[in-house]
Amino acid sequence: MAGKMKVGVLISGRGSNLKSLLEACAAPGFPAEIVTVLSNQPGAGGLDHARAAGVAAAVVDHKAYDGRAAFEAALTTALEDAAVELVCLAGFLRVVTPAFVRHWQGRMINIHPSLLPLFPGLDTHARALAAGVKLHGCSVHYVSEEVDGGAIVGQAAVPVLAGDDPDSLAARVLAAEHRLYPACLRLVADGRARLVDGKVEISLDCDGAAQIFNPPLRP
């Protein structure tokens, strides 16, 4: 399909969100295609998901570079060599520099396991339990220089249940992530999610009542 947005995915681990994105992009009519997957960890399981889907996969090991600037320059070269138009962070466990963010400004999104702006950073599930919230979830957002502070594309909420521990809550959130990220990528790729004055405006005709996914999921 001509005109598909070319996407590069950065990973560090098992690649479960990558797998959900690959499956979505394989569907007829999906407006994006993943053209490259890069990992900073040589043993990342997500590389196997990419190769199984016929997508180019490579390692850009941060340990092989003298500092973050050199590492990120190598990432950018690899992404631009693949003509990437949008970068998706999917379990990429490196905090990127302001210079990298500025280079990909408005062209890089991330998924975070909380309902931002609540619980940016690490250990989100334990922090949610400690705070006593009754809803937890995940957010897809544009990457900004503030960690987990960029404009939100979409969110999904899950209940916090009696007896939850961080692992059980994380599993419930991860299932939501696997549905939310492809839905948000679709909206960005087909132009229905647009950055306007620092916020994301979404063109989507729907009845949003009682939706736990916002924006609502579409096939």
Which positions are annotated as active-site residues? Answer: 112
Cβ neighbourhood burial of 149 (10 Å; 0-12, 13-18, 19+): middle
Cβ neighbourhood burial of 129 (10 Å; 0-12, 13-18, 19+): middle
Query: Residues 219, 186, 51, CA angle at the centre, nearest 5°?
Result: 95
Cα separation, 1 vs 41, whole angstroms:
32
Token pair 């960690």 is at which residue?
Answer: 147
- The token pair at 41 is 């960890």
Element holding 142 (H helix, E strand): strand 135-142
DSSP readout, 21-43?
HHHHHTSTT-SEEEEEEEESSTT
